[in-house]
Every structure is written in C-alpha cells, then in structure tokens.
Amino acid sequence: MRDVAIIGVGMMKWGELWKKSLRDIFVEAAINAIDDANVDKIDSMYIGCMSGGLFVGQEHLGSMLADYLGQKNIPAARVESACASGGLAVKLAYLEVASGMSNIVLAGGVEKMTDVDGAGATAALATAADQEYEVYNGATFPGLYAMIARAHMDKYKTTREQLAKVAVKNHKNGFNNPNAQFRMNITVDDVVNSVMVASPLRILDCSPITDGAAALIMCDLETAKKISKKAPVRILGVGHATDSIALHSRKDFTTINSTVIAAQKAYKMAGVKPGDVNVAEVHDCFTIAEVVVSEDLGFFDKGEGGCAVAEGRTEIGGQIPINPSGGLKSKGHPVGATGVAQVIEIVEQLRGNAGKRQVENTKIGLTQNMGGSGGSSIVHILKGES
Amino acid sequence: MRDVAIIGVGMMKWGELWKKSLRDIFVEAAINAIDDANVDKIDSMYIGCMSGGLFVGQEHLGSMLADYLGQKNIPAARVESACASGGLAVKLAYLEVASGMSNIVLAGGVEKMTDVDGAGATAALATAADQEYEVYNGATFPGLYAMIARAHMDKYKTTREQLAKVAVKNHKNGFNNPNAQFRMNITVDDVVNSVMVASPLRILDCSPITDGAAALIMCDLETAKKISKKAPVRILGVGHATDSIALHSRKDFTTINSTVIAAQKAYKMAGVKPGDVNVAEVHDCFTIAEVVVSEDLGFFDKGEGGCAVAEGRTEIGGQIPINPSGGLKSKGHPVGATGVAQVIEIVEQLRGNAGKRQVENTKIGLTQNMGGSGGSSIVHILKGES
C-alpha cells in the first residue's frame, strides 16, 4: 500500500444556512479544498452523508455532487455510518489512494439539517439508533447519552461540573474558530443552569443541529511532495470498528468499545502510542461523550476523563489538547460532515495554520469520529511532513 | 493489487416479505453466503442500501447488520448509489481485498420496500432523481424512462413490441429461478395491453417493488483456492462511473453515458472485449433500460438493441444471453440488493449451477448495475476458475 497524504482542505462557516442548498454548501467546501490542494481535477470521490433522504429528500449524492462540482463521470460514492459518515469517507478515500486504484481523491461530508423542523431532525437522527428496540420505546440520543452519563457518574464519581467544563473549554476554543456555528464563551454556571434535556444533560451539554460541509484532497505521498505548495500531512493510521448500535446490548455503558478497538488498530498501524499524540479532535456530540472517549483513546485512565478536563489537561497548552476547533459543541455538528472537519482541524494544526487555536509543537494528531451512541467509530492518526 | 475471487453467494426468495424485517432478510442472505463460502468469520463488510431512512426508518445499517450477523466489532459500512448501491458494495469489497487491507470480506445488499405504501415507495425511489429540478416538477422514474423510450423509438425505430419482448424473455427466464418474485410466463399481448403507467411504458414494462437481500463473500484468489469447496470465480474487471442524475442535463437520452464509461473501464481492466462475454446480467428496471444498455455495453451497435431482443439474440442459447436470472423484471428489484444479486447469478452461471437457466459454455460473465436514470453505473466482469 502506498503512503497517503492530505494536500488540501476546505469548509465554510457552519450554521443555519437557509439561503444555501445541500449542493451549494458541498461545492463551496470542495472548491476550497481543491484550491488549497493546487489541483485542477480529481479522480474519484467519497461523500459522507447520514440521511440525505430524511433531511432533504435527496439520495444518490455521489453522482449529483460530482456533477455539480464540475467533475461529471468520475466514480463517486456516498457512504454512511450515521454521525461517523465523514470519517468513513476519509477512510475509503485513503484506501483508494493507498491501493493505487486512484491518484487524486476527494473525501467530503455534508449534511443540511435545518430544512426540517426540530422534531423532524430528532427523528432523522434517531435512525442512527436501533429503530425497533430503542426508538420504538421512546429513546432518542439525548436520552441514550444521559444513560451513559448517569452510569459514568455512578461508577467513577464524575460530576455535573466536570461535564460542564467540556462545554466551557470547547466554546472557548470555538470562539477563535471563524468557521464555528456558536462563537461565544460560556461558564460552568451557564451550563448547569441551562434548560434540562435529559437528566443530567442540559441544552449546553448538547451539540447543535447544523448545516455544513467539509472536504479534503488526498494523494500518494510522492505526488504530494511534488504538487503541494503546503507541507503535506501524512495519514499514519486508520482504525474502524463497530458495536451493537443498541445501548442495551452492551456490557458496560461507560466505555465505547468501538472506539477502543478502532484506536488500537490505528495506533498499531501508525506505530505510535496515545502519549505520542499532540492534539486530538474527538466526537463530543454530548459533553459526556468527550469524557468517555478521552479515556477510551488511552489519553487518561478509565474514570479519569472528568478530572482531566476539570484540571485543564485537555485545554490548548495542556497535556493533550482536545477539540481545539471548538468540537461538535461549538463548531456545530452537520452529522455527515463532522468526521471530515475533524481531520481538517488536525491538518491545520499540523501545518501551523490554526491561528489563535494553534497548539504548539504538534507533530502527531488524532481524530475520533463516532456513529450513534458508539455503534461505529473511526480513528485517524496524522503526521505533519516537513 | 491482489487477484480477488468470490467464494460464496447467498440470497432467498424475493417478494413481499411482510413477516420478516430488514435485519432478518439480510442475515438470512449473509448466512447462506457464509455457508456457501465455507468460512466461519468475516473481516469486514459493505452493505448496499438505497434508503433505509425512508423505507424503514433505519440508517447506520453497517453496524447494526454486522451485530445481527454475529460479527460485532468488524469494520462495516453502508454504501449508497441509489439502485446501484449493491454494485457499489461489490466494488468496495473488491478494493478492500485487492489492496490487502482485509482478507475475507462480505458484500451485501438489502432493501425492505413494502413496509411503506405505493406512494411512499415512489417518493423514496424518486430521491435517486434530482429532487430540486426533476421531482419538484413532477417527474418520477416511470416518466423519466418513458422519455428515454420515446427518444429511442424516435431515433432508432425501436417498436412497442420490441420493448415487450424484453419483459417476455425475462419472465421466461425468471420462471426457472426459484428466488424470483414473479415466476410467471407472459406474452407480448399481455405487455402491450397491460395498464399504462407513463406512455409508452405499461405496468409489465416496469420492475416491481420488492423486499430482498443478497450477499457474497470475497477473498484473495490464493486463499480462495485453498478454502473453497467450489470453483472460485475471479473478478477480472471493475468499472464505475457517474453522470448528471438529471436527465435534462444530458446531450442524448438514448445512451447511458455512465454505463459506456464504466464498461470501457471494466473491459480494459479485464483485458476482454464485449464479444468475449458469454452471459450478462443488466439493469432492466424498465424494458427500455435493457435495450439501451445492451447497446452501451457493446453487445450490439447503437440502435440495434430492440431488434436484437426481438430476434432472440439475448435469450438463453442466443448470441449473448441477457438476464438469465429473470432480471429485475421477474426476479424483483429490492434496490440496494439488486447489484449483488446480479453478481450472484453470474457466479452460479460460471459454476454451472444455474439449473434450467444455465447458459452453456460460460467462461466470462458481466454485470451492469445502474442508479436512477443512469446517474451512476457499475460494471463487473467475472471469470470462472477451473
């Protein structure tokens, strides 16, 4: 398999983009990535999208978006693993380049979530849970993650305030991200006094509903060194694993087993350990999710994630900065695009282009993208090339 | 890239399977394929499904189906290219094995279409067309293919009776397929006097709404020779291409350009010509589709597809037998599963296991799977190994 590098990234300011359609926002992100990569055509593309059908009544997105991007006739595929659809697109683009099947490949993600009302969005997102056993009985994601939070609080004495600290940190980071949906600083008091959604999770523990797209361009490392005007970022490790999508089928609510397995695979392939990672973007769809996966990725011992965030160990400048982009919480969470945007933030960090969010001395970065309540996880490990 | 072989195939009788859920039918097909392959585990899997969201309210199918198959934790991805989703799953499974990323990979497809009513199914299928430009203006697939039929009849003098012959032939073949949804012989008179859907296409020109699943197991050719009790079938060529999903964006309605390009790629990779192909399964979602693609695949000159079927050149025993399985028309068309089932029929033909449908002296077979009105096409070329 060939070494693979990312040579271009593109997105736009995420939010409630009512004046733009799904195809508009995808093309905007893709053109930005193509410009950044200094290429004029792509050979193939993968699009992560969770539910074009339920959100905008449009499937067959691979073909449609290739056409609107002016790349008609190339192989183009839409891929889906709920909220990990973007990470899946990155994985498959990696495979296509690494195998030699194609040379210049775009990995993109897109979701247009605000064209339906709140109930419609909740129902669409709930299709990432087990429809026959969870959703039929009334469970949607805030409730499922609330159960994870309760279990973690019971078992490890994680506190309400520690969860709030995740949101506070991520909004602080997102304040410096021009593409973030919610650029505002919040306090622990704001979080613990915000509207209750599913006890113990309140509205400021939850990532928002977002319209957005993200895209990146990959090629083999040798070509990257020739054509890229910026330092290429190499994909060192890729890990992908699944689990029961129904929470009640798992032995332990306090660990996301798909993340544990995906991380083990990615670390092994990359030849690095958790302690070698300088910066990480993880899937903080709810505050508790960041706490749990920061442990499952091996950054902290099991049960220490709450203390770690409270002690500032995951802030920029801390032991392992997590979600310098603002995470899903502040940057927004257009579900199909999130996994791609996580990789984009790590690329910007490794390039030293992250502005006020820059983590110093970054050589190795990690992304963790997750579907549903952890029914799927995809982990990528990236390294800056000098 | 490694040589890749198919070592196991599985499906079940397709139809209106009201007593079985989507997960039931997928697992049934997958277990049949795993049994046939003589393996006891798989390393990874790809599931083609067009719209789990709109048909059954369930996305995140990769993870869910891996779990229900007893293969929890493996990488599993749902992929979508409208009615070519199954072909896409086969392509990606091929890539994963060929690259060396995984050894034993399942490619499956599934669609449960009868849990919504007819209007719901038509609306769900219409998401494979351009929602903003075609569907908004009232076009659904029978209308779009009717326009293709009108154009082909005008330009090449293709007749109403020639189109009917496609349906008659495919029902004759499907009568001998125990898995086919509609096992009944029909006549040209039956077709031309059946209920009008979108002129000139009548109900017996249209493939049905179907519940069904299909699965196959691939591995590298060397391993296949060691573990398979049946003769492995080698994947010689893979071609994938896209086009505008909106019909009005194309220069010519009488050719499916994505099929032309995908076929050129597959023939080149396989090192074979159209005349070398002994048997083909093609995407006859409407009778006119089979006529058009039989030309676009190079079996006949442009405009001769209608005459060819009328002269019996595509029957079993003819110049190039097309759709010995009964095709989408008789076997049924659970959209995500169709592309996988096409490959299954060719595997059975190359193994010599097709019973009364057997085409004699088959060495090379081809499948052509298509999304929407040809917005995407995937062509596979297979060869029996002795």
Contacts of A50 in chain B (CB under 8 A): 59
* pLDDT, averaged across chain A: 97
Measured distance between the N- and C-terminal CA atoms of chain B, rounded to whole angstroms = 22
Regarding beta strands B364-371 and B279-281, do their DSSP bridges make them parallel or antiparallel, or are they unpaired? parallel
Q: Rounded to whole angstroms, how far apart are CA atoms B351 and B362?
A: 9
Contact state of B79 with A80 under an 8 Å Cβ cutoff: yes
The distance of A368 to chain B (nearest Cα, Å) reads: 15
Check B101 against A52: CB less than 8 A apart: no
User: Within 13 Å, how many C-alpha atoms sit on residue B123's CB side?
Assistant: 12
Q: How does the average pLDDT of chain B come out, rounded?
A: 97
CB contact under 8 A, B242 and A63: yes
Contacts of B241 in chain A (CB under 8 A): 73-75
Residue A383 to residue B329: CA distance in whole angstroms: 52
Per-residue 3-state assignment (H helix, E strand, C coil) for chain B = CCCEEEEEEEECCCECCCCCCHHHHHHHHHHHHHHHHCCCCCCEEEEECCCHHHHHCCCCHHHHHHHHCCCCCCCEEEEEECECHHHHHHHHHHHHHHHCCCCCEEEEEEEECCCCCHHHHHHHHHHHCCCCCCHHHCCCHHHHHHHHHHHHHHHHCCCHHHHHHHHHHHHHHHCCCCCCCCCCCCCHHHHHCCCEEECCEEHHHECCCCEEEEEEEEEEHHHHHHHCCCCCEEEEEEEEEECCCCHHHCCCCCCCHHHHHHHHHHHHHHCCCHHHCCEEECCCCEHHHHHHHHHHCCCCCCCCHHHHHHCCCCCCCCCCCECCCCHHHHHCCCHHHHHHHHHHHHHHHHHCCCHHHCCCCCCEEEEEEEECCCCEEEEEEEEECC
CA distance, residue A303 to nearest chain B CA (Å): 23
The residues of chain A that CATH labels 3.40.47.10 are 4-117+209-233, 133-207+235-384
Task: Tell me whether residue B248 is one of the annotated catalytic residues.
Answer: no
Task: Using an 8 Å CB-CB cutoff, list chain A residues near B261.
Answer: 73
Decide if A372 and B63 are in contact by the 8 Å CB cutoff.
yes
- pLDDT number for residue A163: 98
Residue A286 has pLDDT above 80, yes or no: yes
CA distance B363 to B278: 7
Across the interface, of A66, A99, A128, the residue whose CB is closest to B60 is: A128
d(CA B382, CA B340): 13
Residues of B in contact with A95 (CB under 8 A): 95-96, 99, 101
CB burial of residue B41 (10 Å; 0-12, 13-18, 19+) = exposed
As a whole number, mean pLDDT of residues B34-63 equals 97
- Per-residue pLDDT band for B385 (boundaries 50, 70, 90) equals confident
- Residue B63 and residue A95: Cβ atoms within 8 Å? no
pLDDT at A208: 97
CB atoms within 10 A of CB B148: 23
The beta-carbon neighbor of B128 closest among A1, A59, A129 is A59
Q: How far is B258 from chain A (nearest CA, A)?
A: 6
Helix H or strand E encompassing A7 = strand A4-11
Pick from A60, A81, A241: CB nearest B245: A60
Among A56, A75, A82, select the one facing B240 at the smallest CB separation.
A75
pLDDT at B60: 98
Q: Encode pLDDT of B320-346 as tens digits.
A: 999 999 999 999 999 999 999 999 999
Model confidence pLDDT, tens digit, residues A32-84:
999 999 999 999 999 999 999 999 999 999 999 999 999 999 999 999 999 99
- Find the residue in B nearest to A376 (Cα): B63
B17: pLDDT strictly greater than 90? yes
Closest chain B C-alpha to A172 CA, distance in angstroms: 32
For residues B32 and B247, what is the distance between their CA atoms, to the nearest angstrom? 39
B244–A72 CB contact, under 8 Å: yes
Check CB contact under 8 Å for A245 and B54: no
CATH class of the domain whose range is A4-117+209-233: alpha beta
| Residues of chain B found within 8 Å of residue A112, distances taken between Cβ atoms | none
pLDDT digits (tens, 9 = 90+) for B136-192: 999 999 999 999 999 999 999 999 999 999 999 999 999 999 999 999 999 999 999
Residues in chain A within 8 Å Cβ distance of B247? none
CATH superfamily, with its number, for domain A133-207+235-384: Thiolase/Chalcone synthase (3.40.47.10)
Residue with tokens 């499907």: B174
Contacts of A65 in chain B (CB under 8 A): none
Query: Does the model's pTM come out above 0.90?
Result: yes
Active-site residue among B49, B83, B219, B307?
A: B83
C-alpha A302/C-alpha A297 separation (Å) is: 10
Query: Six-digit token pair at B248?
Result: 């009005």
Contacts of A376 in chain B (CB under 8 A): 60, 62-63, 76
**Residue A1 to residue B56, Cβ atoms within 8 A:** no
Cβ <8 Å between A63 and B95: no
| Domain ranges in chain B with CATH number 3.40.47.10 | 4-117+209-233, 130-207+234-384
A76: closest CA of chain B, how far (Å): 7
What pLDDT does B50 receive?
A: 97
Q: How many residue pairs bridge chain A and chain B with CB atoms within 8 Å of each other?
A: 197
Distance set, CA B79 to CA A299, A335, B91 (Å): 32, 16, 10
Taking a C-beta distance cutoff of 8 angstroms, is the pair A173, A328 a contact? Answer: no
Substitution target in A4, A63, A113 with the highest count of B β-carbons within 10 Å is A63
Quote the percentage of chain B above a pLDDT of 90: 98
- Which position among A171, A283, A333, A380 bears the catalytic label? A333
For residue A294, what pLDDT band results from cuts at 50, 70 and 90? very high
Over residues A174-205, the pLDDT tens digits come to: 999 999 999 999 999 999 999 999 999 999 99
Minimum distance, in Å, between the CA of residue A355 and any CA atom of chain B: 35
* pLDDT tens per residue across span B356-383: 999 999 999 999 999 999 999 999 999 9
Hey, are the CB atoms on B77 and A80 less than 8 Å from each other? yes
* Chain B residue closest in CA terms to A123: B57
**Confidence band, pLDDT 50/70/90 cuts, at residue A385:** confident
Give the model's pLDDT for residue B379.
Answer: 98
Chain B residues lying within 8 Å of A240, measured CB to CB: 75, 77
**Alpha carbon A179 to chain centroid distance?**
14
**C-beta separation of B280 from B381 below 8 A:** no
Residue range A211-266, pLDDT digits in tens? 999 999 999 999 999 999 899 999 999 999 999 999 999 999 999 999 999 999 99
Rounded to the nearest angstrom, the minimum Cα separation between A188 and chain B is 34
Percent of chain B with pLDDT over 70: 100
Set of chain B residues whose Cβ sits within 8 Å of the Cβ of A244: 63, 67, 72
Residue of chain A minimizing CA distance to B97: A99
Q: Indicate if B83 belongs to the active site.
A: yes
Residues of A in contact with B135 (CB under 8 A): 57
- Stated length of chain A: 386
Decide if pLDDT at B200 tops 90.
yes
Chain A residue closest to B56 (CA)?
A: A131
For range B297-322, the mean pLDDT: 98
Query: What count of other Cβ atoms lies within 10 Å of the Cβ of residue B57?
Result: 18
* pLDDT number for residue A74: 98
pLDDT surpassing 90 at residue B16: yes
For testing the chain B interface, which of A2, A3, A24, A64 should be mutated: the one with the most B CBs within 10 Å? A64
pLDDT exceeds cutoff 90 at A26: yes
Q: Do B88 and A77 touch (CB under 8 A)?
A: yes
> Which of A49, A83, A206, A307 is flagged as catalytic?
A83
Q: Has residue A386 got a pLDDT over 90? A: no
Measured in angstroms, the CA of A115 and the nearest CA of chain B are apart by 13
Residue A18: predicted pLDDT: 95
> Which of B50, B242, B249 lies nearest to residue A59, judging by beta carbons?
B50
Query: Looking at domain B130-207+234-384, does it have CATH number 3.30.70.120?
Result: no
Nearest Cβ partner for B242 among A56, A72, A132? A72
